[in-house]
Amino acid sequence: MLILSGFLVGLLVGLTGVGGGALMTPLLLLVFGIAPVTAIGTDLWFAAITKIAAGKIHHSKGLIDWQVLRYMWVGSLPASLVMILCLHFKIISANVHFLTTLVAIAITVTAVSLLMQKYLHQLGRFLRLQNTERFKQWQPSLTILAGIILGSLVTLTSIGAGAIGVVMLTYLYPLRLTTPRLVATDIMHAIPLTVIAGTGHLLLGNINFDLLIWMLCGSIPGVLIGATISGKISQGILRIILAAVLILVAIKIAYS
């Protein structure tokens, strides 16, 4: 079951850049009965290693926008370190109720983001064409802010690096990032972020290595297949299906 779960999640990550934490963390919570803090910490390393495999393929295709990445990392990596320190010094609570509630909220935001991506892209494109200079002036600052939001959310829930990151970049770079470049850039952004957040959780003792190894046995083949065929499958239909599944998962977690 862990290998199959890893394969399906890895396939989705390779295809869309979306679905890693938003699917694997709920699976660990609801299907396998893993404690929230362990599910989050383990999933961060699952996401990091899985996306490294996908990132190598996207890099070989020359799809990654490094300038956009640098702005994202300026915000997300320091934010992740701050969240780890807040967990370590118990400034932010790590109790079960708080973490499961936060995970449910993050999954809901992810689902809504998937459904809103097309409209936010159209809005971003309109603003970019109508007020070009002002839009470009604010792009770096807003990209750093997006990184801060993602870094904080991913560290606390392991969710958001894919779907929410993609939607933010869709709005901020409506002309610059085509769909393949958007997926590749978002996956590459998540790699150091999940490594840093995962290392923090490792030091806090929140990793289950047995779970991680079994999941990776499925996810690495899945993500390699997904990344290889990512340009050949309609992303729109996949995102609608994924959003519907995530909404149901969020409701289930909230009521559990």
DSSP 118-152: HHHHHHHHHHHHHSHHHHHHHHHHHHHHHHHHHHH
141-172 pLDDT tens trace: 999 999 999 999 999 999 988 778 888 999 99
pLDDT surpassing 70 at residue 91:
yes
Continuous segment of H or E residues that includes residue 180 = helix 179-203
CB 18 within 8 A of CB 230: no
R_g (Cα) of the chain, nearest Å:
17
Q: How far is CA 223 from CA 1, 8, 20, 203, in A?
A: 17, 9, 10, 27
Predicted local distance difference test score (pLDDT) of residue 206: 92
Q: Classify the phi-psi angles of 208: left when phi > 0, otherwise alpha if psi is within -120 to 50, otherwise beta.
A: beta
Which residue did the predictor score with more confidence, 182 or 55?
182
- Please give the share of the chain, as a percent, with pLDDT higher than 90: 49
Predicted local distance difference test score (pLDDT) of residue 231: 64
Cα–Cα distance for residue pair 247/252, rounded to 1 Å: 9
pLDDT surpassing 80 at residue 128:
yes
| Average per-residue pLDDT for the chain | 88
Query: pLDDT category, 19, cuts 50, 70, 90?
Result: low
Tokens of 25: 């963390």
pLDDT surpassing 80 at residue 124:
yes
For range 170-179, the mean pLDDT: 90
Cβ neighbours for 115, distance < 8 A, ≥ 6 positions apart: 239, 240, 243
pLDDT surpassing 80 at residue 23:
yes
Predicted local distance difference test score (pLDDT) of residue 22: 82
For range 225-233, the mean pLDDT: 76
For range 235-248, the mean pLDDT: 81
Query: pLDDT category, 202, cuts 50, 70, 90?
Result: very high
Question: Which residue reads 């320091």 in tokens?
Answer: 78
Cα–Cα distance for residue pair 242/114, rounded to 1 Å: 8
- The angle that helices 179-203 and 132-157 make with each other, rounded to 10 degrees, is 40
CB 113 within 8 A of CB 226: no
Domain ranges of the chain: 2-255
Cβ neighbours for 81, distance < 8 A, ≥ 6 positions apart: 196, 200
pLDDT surpassing 90 at residue 248:
no
- Please give the share of the chain, as a percent, with pLDDT higher than 70: 96
* Amino acid, res. 8: L
Cα–Cα distance for residue pair 16/8, rounded to 1 Å: 12
* Amino acid, res. 183: V
Short-list 147, 158, 174, CA closest to 72: 147
Q: Classify the phi-psi angles of 119: left when phi > 0, otherwise alpha if psi is within -120 to 50, otherwise beta.
A: alpha
What is the model's pTM? Answer: 0.88
For range 62-71, the mean pLDDT: 92
